[in-house]
Every structure is written in structure tokens, then in C-alpha cells.
Amino acid sequence: MDSLASASSRFVLVCQHRSCARNQSADVLAAFQALAPEGVLVAATDCMGQCASGPTVQVAPEGIWYCRVTAKDVAEIVEQHLGQQQPVQRLLHPRFHFQWQGEVE
Ligand code: FES
């Protein structure tokens, strides 16, 4: 089953708790609400436990976490991730999505 291909049961969760709110997560939420395609539910959440790297966004059910998201990033996430099923690598939360950046010896 390809969960990325199923848009009808997808959610974008945007933290609105203290640390994220101090970093303009309300603007991030508003941008997702304006741009998310039909069938994708956008919801505000309480703290998701990633306060030091907010604003925190999670796309479900695939469980992709984004960190330090700004309102300017939202169009890219919507187009690339929600539209083309390709998560935006540069915004992935490294705690959940380890990316090897060095060279293999
Ligand atoms: S305040 Fe947003 S993850 Fe904790």
C-alpha cells in the first residue's frame, strides 16, 4: 500500500504551543490552511515534544516530521510533498529522518 498516494486520509499537523508560537507557527498554520490541497486536513496541535526545533510540522499518516518551518516554506512542502509525494529533504527533522552528510570511507 502506498500511503503517500492516498490524499483523502492525510493530515498536516502544525504545533501552536509556546515555543513554536514564538517562532510564528500561526503563520505556518495559516499558510497550510490556505494552500493545502483538497482532502488534506490541516490542524493545529499542542506541543509535539520538539520545542527546540520548531515550528514543528508533521505530515500523517506517513509520519514525516519537519522542523524550523516558516510560512515561506509551506508552498514548497505543499507542492513537493503533498503534490508530488516527495518530502522536502532540507526541512526534514534530523531526529526522525537521519541523513548521511559525510563521505563513506
Ligand atoms: S512547542 Fe512546538 S513542539 Fe513543543
Pocket test for ligand 1, best of 53, 56, 93, 95 (most atoms within 8 A of CB): 56
Largest CA distance in the chain: 46
22-72 pLDDT, tens digit each: 999 999 999 999 999 999 999 999 999 999 999 999 999 999 999 999 999
Ligand 1 centroid to 86 CA: how many Å?
25
Provide the CATH number for the domain around residue 53.
3.40.30.10
Query: The pTM is what?
Result: 0.87
Pocket of ligand 1 (CB under 6 A): 15, 17-20, 47-51, 54, 56
Residue 87 lies in a domain: yes
At residue 88, φ and ψ (nearest 5 deg) are -80, 105
Residue 84 confidence (pLDDT) above 60 = yes
Could you tell me if residue 96 is inside a domain? no
Instruction: Please state the domain count of the chain.
Output: 1
